Structure formats: structure tokens, C-alpha cells
Amino acid sequence: MLVEPEVKGKMMVKPEVQGKMSVEPEVQGKMMVKPEMSVEPEVQGKMMVESVVQGKMSVEPEVQGKMSVELEVQGKMSVEPEVQGKMMVESEGQEKMMVESEVQGKMSVEPEVQGKMSVEPEVQGKMMVESEGQGKMMVESEVQGKMMVEPGVQKKMMVEPEMQGKMMVEPEVQGKMMVEPGVQKKMMMEPEVQGKMMVEPGVQKKMMVEPGVQKKIMVEPDKIGTVQMTKYVFLEKCCLQQNM
């Protein structure tokens, strides 16, 4: 868990959490959160990492953030040394990274990364996944978040500071992008973006946008789609979770 020096955010695990915060080696995935990737308080997102997760979480020494585990937490938080992945909260981010109670979901990154990304209702955060992430993306109803994918990444969730956001899913990606009904303005790129992409109901195809393309991805409320999902990634207040 890498947090920038000026970060004022906190990381907490609430009670009854049955997940584990553990990072196995050999993971090249990165998880970075910027202030604009925050999610409103009503979002029920969680963040947990199972021991089988092949991601790593490291905390820089100058991190001003706090990591705490509240009582009754059945999870564990461990960090391997050679972490190649990082979770970053930019300096302006004062959000908290929390794990709601009763959380039974866990964030696991399989070797082939077949996990999925989902944004729960009323989410106003952004979800960005760099290319070669073989996970599936799904946006639930009333989601106001954003989904971006940048190239040259292997199973990563990150937001580069200079990144203008690009939607890219490599051809080999086994994931699909679906949108549940009632979706407001989801999967949107930067404001200067001038393109739009729709996800039709029951879409099974893969979506690929070249790195240099600045297209906007908007899903209309009437677009209904379903995804066979075994994992979910929720972003809440600079927080992510993946329900196994």
C-alpha cells in the first residue's frame, strides 16, 4: 500500500470483516487511487485481499496515512517485501479507505486475472484498469463513476497523475463490459474526450480502444447487461473490494 507523503487518507478495516489483507509475491499489479477516484459515503464498497492474491502492498516510509484494523476483525494485513504493486492515494485525497462490516468479499488476483470490476450503486468514484488486465468490468445501476484502462500494464488498477484516461482492453482480455439498468453516466473518460461507446444488453464481445484514443464511454439507463462474475471490485472512498 503505497501512499504519497501528503496523503491524509486512512485505511481501516471495520469489524466482522472476514477477509484478509494479504499480498503474495510475484504480483505485478498496481492499485493507485487519486482524489477524483473517491466514492460517496453511501457506497458499500470494501477492500480485501486474500492470501492467494498475487499482488503486493507496500507502504512508503514517508506515508502520512494511517492503517488500522478495528476490533473483531478476522482479517489479516501483511505486506511482502518485493512488492511490485502499489496502492497510492494522491496528496489531495483526504478520503478514507474503509472496509465495511459484514464484508465477506475478498480481493484476489489470480495468475490469469479473471477477476471482475464492479461499481455498486451511487458510486461517484472512478475505476481505472490498465491494459492487459484480464478482468471483467461491470457497472451497476446509478453508478456515476468512471472506468479507464491504460496500456502497457499487467493486471493493474492505477491512475497516473498525468494520465488523461484512456479506455483500453487488450484483445486477450477475457473480461467483458456490461452495464446494469438504471445506469446514469458511467464509464466516462476525461472531459475533453469526444467519443462515446455504448454497451448493448447481453454484450459478450470485448471492448478495445487504442491507447491514444480519447473516447468517452457512456452507458444509457436502458442498456441492460449481465456478466458471469465471480469477483467484484468496489471502489469506496479510495477503496476497492473484490467479492469472491
C-alpha pair distances (Å), 58 with each of 36, 135, 161, 205, 215:
22, 23, 19, 36, 33
What is the predicted pLDDT for the residue at 162?
29
Provide the 3-class DSSP secondary structure of residue 117.
Answer: strand
Please list the pLDDT of the chain residue by residue as tens digits (244 residues).
343 333 333 334 443 333 333 333 333 333 333 333 333 332 223 333 333 322 333 333 333 233 333 322 223 333 332 222 333 332 222 232 223 322 222 233 332 222 333 333 333 233 333 333 333 333 332 332 333 333 333 233 333 322 323 333 333 332 333 333 333 233 333 222 223 233 333 322 323 333 332 222 333 323 222 222 222 222 222 223 222 3
What are 95's three cell numbers? 478520503
CA gap 122, 131 in Å, rounded: 26
CA gap 38, 2 in Å, rounded: 17
CA gap 189, 178 in Å, rounded: 17
- The residue ranges of every structural domain in the chain are 171-243
What is the predicted pLDDT for the residue at 237?
24
* Cβ 33 vs Cβ 228: under 8 Å: no
φ, ψ (nearest 5 deg) of residue 69 = -120, 120
Q: How many CB atoms lie within 10 A of CB 35?
A: 18
Q: How many CB atoms lie within 10 A of CB 162?
A: 4
CA gap 231, 14 in Å, rounded: 21
Separation of CA 171 from chain center: 20
Separation of CA 191 from chain center: 20
How many helices (H) does the chain have, and how many strands (E)? Answer: 0, 14
Q: Which residues of 191-222 are buried (b: 16+ CB within 10 A; e: fewer)?
A: eebeeeeebeeebeeebebeeeebbbbbbeee
What is the predicted pLDDT for the residue at 88?
30
What is the predicted pLDDT for the residue at 104?
24
Is the pTM higher than 0.85? no
